[in-house]
Amino acid sequence: MTQAANYSAQKATVDSVEIVRLADAEHHIEVSIAPSVGNIAYDMKVNGKAILLPPPGTLSDWKTKPSQAGIPFLAPWANRLDTDSYWANGKKYLLNPDVVTLRRDGNGLAIHGLVLFASDWQVTVLKADDQGAEVTSRLDFWKHPEWMAQFPFAQSIEMTYRLAGGALEVRTAIENHSGEPMPLSIGFHPWYQIPDCPRDGWKVHLPVREHYTLSDKLIPTGETTPVKFDDPTPLSGRQLDDVFGGVSQGDEFWVEGNGARISVRFGPKYPVAVVYAPQTKNIICFEPMTAITNAFNLTHAGHYPGLQSIPPGQRWVESFWIRPSGF
């Protein structure tokens, strides 16, 4: 454990699962991370109120049978691929479902990549000082033949959760060890909630300018239309499961209810947002994405010009920030 005047960072064991807990005493915020379950920040409490969707049951149950909760990381592709193949650097690569179990959506499409609940994240830094509390964990993707058989770009991933000044920064650094540019279509799927306020009482601010037209299988066609939401937009009677571009840099997504607000700001290398707010659940997801759904294949087809890549031997770094208030 490391501790300073307002901040602390410590390892603990909960339900036989090793976790890391960061605390900001001044702002009454605690964040709990499970490195061995996808390095997911599964709990963020403000004045004792949970603003992230928690895992069902105990942590040991969740580790045995993981499901989405908290802030999952989606890589090496976020959301869906339209086939069990994809294009990179002018070459076609095939997924091999006989080597690894691929997650599928309701239409049978491969979804959310390979590392969603990876157990091999290793904590490399744990510290607290007068400026904040943070933990960094590392995942060496290249050490896993079953993953490399699906996405043969050797890489290492570092994720840092930093709690400072009343906000949580989620910083991701990816190093490309391979000899070719590595296409980048990653993202996060945070599940936010406002306790003590039903969904129909929530209002949102969506700082986006483009809406991507989706097929009936939720795959972008490549076409966009301008979009501007009322500010704020009531969620009552509205369902969202959409891909947006033109994220206004410096602006924040937010959801508000009963005077409490969760604000989320994307770094500039997250130009795409998926917003998911089903009418049947008291949750909303503001999902930072480096590219649109199915970006590998849409780029090859000439329908998407925004795909990022990491040059050989280079490192990509970006963050997003979560700031709660009024809880």
Residue 233 makes CB contacts below 8 A (sequence gap 6+) with: 203, 204, 205, 206
Residue 249 has pLDDT above 90, yes or no: no
- pLDDT value of position 238: 94
Where does the pLDDT of residue 289 fall: very low under 50, low under 70, confident under 90, or very high at 90 and above?
very high
* pLDDT 10s digits, 85-142: 999 999 999 999 999 999 999 999 999 999 999 999 999 999 999 999 999 999 999 9
DSSP, collapsed to helix, strand or coil, labels residue 146 as helix
- pLDDT value of position 250: 86
- pLDDT value of position 325: 97
Separation of alpha carbons 122 and 20, rounded Å: 12
Three-state secondary structure readout of 62-110: HHHCCCCCCECEEECECCECCCCEEEECCEEEECCCCCCCCCECCCCCE
DSSP, collapsed to helix, strand or coil, labels residue 167 as strand
Separation of alpha carbons 191 and 42, rounded Å: 9
Tokens 């994220």 correspond to what residue? Answer: 247
Structure tokens at 157: 């991933």
Average pLDDT over residues 248-266: 95
* pLDDT 10s digits, 184-215: 999 999 999 999 999 999 999 999 999 999 99
Longest dimension (CA), the chain: 55
Average pLDDT over residues 317-325: 98
